[in-house]
C-alpha cells in the first residue's frame, strides 16, 4: 500500500515541530543533522505542492477568460 502524500499544511506543521526540536538544543549533532535533512525534504515537497496549486489556479483563471496576476500584500 502506498504511503499517503501529506498536504502542504501537514508539511508546515512537521517543519515547525522539527524547528522546535532543533531550537531546544537537546539533540545530538547526528540527530540534529537527521532532523535538518527531514526539514529540507519537507520544504522541497511543500514547494512542489505550491507549484501544483499555482498551476491549478492559473487553469481556473484561463477558463474564466483572462489571466490577471496581482501581487498579494
Q: Looking at the domain assignment, is residue 54 inside a domain?
A: yes
Q: Looking at the domain assignment, is residue 16 inside a domain?
A: yes
Q: Looking at the domain assignment, is residue 27 inside a domain?
A: yes
Mean residue pLDDT across the chain: 84
What's the pLDDT at 25? 86
**CA distances in angstroms from 22 to 41, 47, 54, listed in the order given:** 16, 22, 31
What's the pLDDT at 46? 94
What's the pLDDT at 34? 97
How many domains does the chain contain in total?
1
Residue 66 phi, psi dihedral angles, 5° rounding: -130, 160
Q: Looking at the domain assignment, is residue 69 inside a domain?
A: no
Cβ contact 22:32 at 8 Å: yes
SS3 66: coil
Q: Looking at the domain assignment, is residue 40 inside a domain?
A: yes
Residues of the chain with pLDDT under 50: 1, 72-73
Q: Looking at the domain assignment, is residue 3 inside a domain?
A: no
Amino acid at each position: 500500500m502506498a504511503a499517503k502524500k501529506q498536504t502542504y499544511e501537514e508539511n508546515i506543521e512537521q517543519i515547525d515541530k522539527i524547528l522546535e526540536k532543533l531550537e531546544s538544543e537537546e539533540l545530538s549533532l547526528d540527530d540534529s543533522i537527521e532532523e535538518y535533512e527531514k526539514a529540507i525534504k519537507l520544504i522541497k515537497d511543500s514547494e512542489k505542492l505550491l507549484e501544483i496549486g499555482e498551476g491549478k489556479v492559473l487553469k481556473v483563471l484561463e477558463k474564466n477568460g483572462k489571466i490577471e496576476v496581482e501581487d498579494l500584500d
